[in-house]
Structure 1
Amino acid sequence: MPLGMEGFDRIEAIYRFLSALHGRAIPPDTRLTRQQRARQRRMVRAFDGERAGATQQEIAEVLFNIGHLGRDEWQASSARHRIKTLLRDARAMVAGGYRKLLRHRRPR
C-alpha cells in the first residue's frame, strides 16, 4: 500500500469493501456530501441525454421538471445556465475527472 496521503483514502475504501464482503455494516462513504451526490446524478443524466440527441432545453425540462419555455424565455432562463454548467462538468468527468471522486478533499 502506498504511504502517501492517498493511503488514507485507500484504507477507508478497503475497510468498506471488507465490511461488505463479510456481511458487516458498511461505514458511510464520506467523500461526497448528499448535495454533491445529487449533482453527480444530474450530471450523468444530462450527459446521457446529450449523447441520446436531446437538446439542452429538453434535458433541462426533464431534470428540473419545468414546462416548455419559449425561445426568449429559454435564453434568459437560469435553467439554461445550469444545464450548460452540468454538461461542461459532466464532459470533464467523462474525460478523466471521475478519478477525483475517489479521493477526499484535503487542504493544500
Structure 2
Amino acid sequence: MLVSAPPGFEPDVAFEPASLGPVIADHAHADGREIIVGDGASELHISLKGGDTARRPAVILPIDSAFALRVDVAARFYHRLQGKRIGLLPRALRLTSLQKRHLIQRLHAFDVRADGGGPRDIAAAVLNAHREAALPAIEWKSSAARRKANRLIQDAIALVNGGYLKLLRGR
C-alpha cells in the first residue's frame, strides 16, 4: 500500500506502474487506485491512496506478526522501482519440495473428501495405498494408511479454513 510521503520527505523514486512490468489492471476509485502489474512469474498488487501518491510514494507497513516479511517485500518493491533485478521470493515465502508435496496432498485430500470420499478413498487416491484401502474393516481400523488418511483430512480442513494464511505470512 502506497500513500503520499509526508511533508519534509522527498522520495528519490516516483512510482510508474509500467516500469515494473505490464499493467494487468488499473482501477481508479474514490480513495485512489488499485493496480496489478505482471512480471511473467507473478502479479504485484499495489494500492495507491490519495492523488499525489505516484509522485511522492511512501510505503505503509503495519506492525503485526508479518512485519519482517512486509519489510522484505517492501525492499524488493523498492529495488524493482529502481529498475534492479530481484531474485527469488523472500526466504520466508519459499517452499521446499517436501512442503510443496505435502500441500498438494492436503489439497488433493480435501478435493476427494469434498467429492464425497472417505479415508479409504483418500488412502487409495492420495497416499497410493490401494492395498491397505482394500483391507477388511477390522484390519483397516488399525492400519497406518487409515491413520495417515485421517490426519491428512484434518490437515486439509485446517489448511482450507484459514491455515493457508500462515504460508502467506511466511510461517
TM range (shorter): 0.7 to 0.9
Would you tell me which structure has more strand in proportion to its own residues?
A: 2
8 Å CA contact retained: 2:69, 2:170: yes
Cα shift at 1:76: 1.2
Tell me which of the two structures has the higher relative contact order, counting C-alpha pairs closer than 8 angstroms and 6 or more residues apart.
1
**Matched letter for residue 66 of structure 1:** A
Gaps of 5+ in 2: 1-59
Give the helix-richer structure, 1 or 2: 1
Unaligned runs of 5+ in 1: none
Change (3 A) 1:6 1:64: same
Normalised to the residue count of structure 2, the TM-score between the two structures is 0.49
Return the match for 1:7 from 60, 67, 79: 67
Aligned to 2:6: none
1:35 corresponds to which of 88, 98, 112: 98
* d(CA) in 2 for partners of 1:63, 1:29: 30
| TM-score for the superposition, normalised by structure 1 | 0.73
Between the aligned partners of 2:160 and 2:151, the Cα distance in structure 1 is: 14
- Aligned partner of 2:109: which letter? A
CA distance in 2, matches of 1:2, 1:58: 45
Q: Which amino acid is the alignment partner of residue 2 of structure 1? A: L
- How many aligned residue pairs are there? 101
CA distance in 2, matches of 1:25, 1:6: 21
Percent of paired sites with the same residue: 31
User: Which runs of at least 4 in structure 1 moved beyond 4 Å after TM superposition?
Assistant: 11-14
In our comparison, the structure showing a higher alpha carbon Rg is 2
1:97 aligned partner, one-letter code:
G
